[in-house]
């Protein structure tokens, strides 16, 4: 018998997957009223359900524990079960045991969703029956059940998902970049990095961002096929940038001016998608056609409007310091930055150089605004706002001809908003209402 811990969207998908295969299971959630409780009871009225605690006696008697990725296992009864040798897995491990089609895996602190979506569109344009999901969109087990005839799976994978995965064999894999994130959950940056690097454990073609210097940390790839991309002039068989032009070796492929996506970090995302596509033999013409049409994902440095010759950008998905740094570096200044929220133990000092160079004013919102203030107050002007509405009003007041207003909080949103989508939608609605 198995037990699913956590009745969120991932836990519900695990329940449906196990039930369809006739596997006996129970569900535990430490909350009294988890979000999908009523749905679960309707679909599975006879499945044992334990709420409001960890129920260590239940954990002890099952043969495997399936954990939702949002749960921190440290100092819990599940950690005790792991030390005693109990199998503890996540939904990606279940997927790996049953999936028969080739899989491409994408992880990183920033850009995962964009690269995953881009590659999925490129594969679709190449005529493949492709399924796209994982940490993005549809839970991976639902994806598997809905796309049994898929020729390719393209998965966004979080560090939390990779921690609990042992059997995933990938046709190609990439770690896009690594910057401090989830430091409230990891002991240190190296522990976080180690979780991300698990994506390379069993992959056929290893795609590497040459800008990240992963080889310098002592990684040993053995006889694996390596494929590099970087923001510099490429060598033969690699993708890279010369100015704002993407090259494959000596071949010029596409200019930044031909693209709808903007910013240096978006060009790096495109380089990664092209590298993965090349690794799985997608036609170059199909990939470039998709690149020209791709307008980016909502809440990811998304252009909102021009107002009085000031450009406004919604980067609400910038939930960590690295994402915001990439957004700042990807835009030409001067910038008015709206930032703040729940910092997750982040170190905002890495913003100092870019903020000093490009950001004329930072408008702070949320509970950890003071942490940002302490890190950068001597290199820019700081203004506090009590709400998103006030932040937008202040930005409109201080912005001058040619400025850019960027919402890129560098923090989680849950202190003030439902999620990053809610935060971005409120910002976008307020900006469009300016008159």
Q: Where are the beta strands (DSSP E) in 47-176?
A: 49-51, 64-67, 87-89, 103-107, 130-134, 152-156, 170-175
Which of 182, 265, 278, 317 is catalytic? The answer is 182
- Strands (E) across 275-320 are located at 302-307, 310-314
Are 423 and 409 in contact by the 8 Å Cβ rule? The answer is yes
- Inter-CA distances, 282 with 193, 269, 287, 379, 399, Å: 30, 17, 7, 46, 44
| Cα(17)–Cα(43) distance, integer angstroms | 12
What lies within 8 Å, CB to CB, of 85 at 6+ separation is: none
Provide φ and ψ at 160, rounded to 5°: -65, -40
Q: Catalytic residue at 46?
A: no
Residues 122 and 145: their CA atoms lie apart, in Å, by 23
Gap between the Cα atoms of 126 and 192, Å rounded? 35
Asked if 112 is an active-site residue, the reply is yes
DSSP 214: G
- Minimal CA–CA distance to 351: which of 324, 332, 374? 324
Is residue 182 annotated as part of the catalytic site, yes or no? yes
| Residue position matching structure tokens 């791709």 | 294
Q: Which residue among the candidates 2, 112, 265, 344 is catalytic per the annotation?
A: 112
Q: Up-side HSE of residue 225: CA atoms within 13 Å toward CB?
A: 14
CB 157, CB 186: distance < 8 Å = no
Residues acting as catalytic residues = 112, 135, 182
């Amino acid at each position: 018998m198995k037990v699913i811990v956590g009745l969120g969207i991932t836990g519900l998908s695990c329940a449906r997957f196990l039930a369809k295969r006739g596997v006996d299971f129970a569900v535990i959630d430490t909350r009294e009223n988890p979000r999908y409780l009523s749905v679960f009871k309707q679909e599975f009225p006879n499945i044992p359900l334990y709420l409001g605690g960890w129920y260590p006696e239940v954990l002890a008697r099952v043969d495997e524990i399936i954990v939702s990725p949002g749960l921190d296992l440290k100092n819990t009864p599940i950690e005790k079960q792991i030390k005693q040798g109990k199998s503890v897995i996540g939904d990606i491990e279940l997927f790996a045991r049953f999936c028969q089609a080739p899989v491409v895996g994408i992880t990183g602190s920033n850009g995962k969703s964009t690269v995953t979506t881009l590659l999925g569109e490129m594969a679709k344009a190449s005529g493949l029956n492709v399924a796209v999901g994982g940490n993005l969109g549809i839970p991976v087990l639902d994806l598997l059940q809905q796309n049994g005839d898929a020729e390719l799976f393209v998965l966004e994978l979080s560090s939390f998902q990779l921690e609990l995965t042992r059997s995933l064999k990938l046709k190609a894999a990439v770690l896009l970049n690594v910057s401090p994130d989830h430091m409230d959950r990891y002991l240190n940056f190296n522990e976080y990095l180690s979780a991300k690097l698990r994506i390379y454990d069993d992959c056929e073609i290893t795609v590497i961002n040459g800008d990240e210097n992963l080889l310098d940390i002592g990684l040993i790839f053995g006889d694996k096929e390596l494929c590099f991309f970087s923001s510099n002039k490429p060598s033969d068989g690699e993708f890279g940038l010369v100015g704002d032009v993407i090259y494959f070796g000596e071949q010029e492929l596409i200019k930044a001016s031909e693209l709808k996506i903007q910013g240096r970090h978006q060009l790096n995302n495109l380089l990664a998608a092209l590298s993965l596509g090349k690794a799985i033999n997608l036609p170059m013409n199909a990939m470039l056609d998709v690149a020209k049409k791709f307008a980016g994902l909502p809440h990811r440095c998304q252009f909102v409007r021009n107002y009085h010759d000031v450009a406004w950008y919604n980067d609400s998905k910038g939930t960590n310091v690295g994402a915001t740094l990439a957004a700042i570096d990807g835009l030409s200044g001067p910038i008015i930055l709206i930032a703040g929220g729940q910092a997750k133990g982040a170190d905002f000092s890495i913003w100092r150089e870019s903020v000093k160079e490009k950001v004329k004013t930072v408008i702070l919102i949320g509970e950890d605004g003071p942490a940002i203030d302490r890190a950068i107050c001597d290199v820019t002007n700081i203004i506090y706002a009590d709400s998103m509405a006030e932040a937008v009003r202040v930005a409109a007041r201080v912005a001058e001809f040619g400025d850019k207003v960027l919402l890129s909080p560098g923090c989680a949103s849950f202190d003030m908003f439902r999620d990053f989508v809610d935060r971005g939608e409120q910002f976008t609605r307020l900006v469009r209402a300016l008159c």
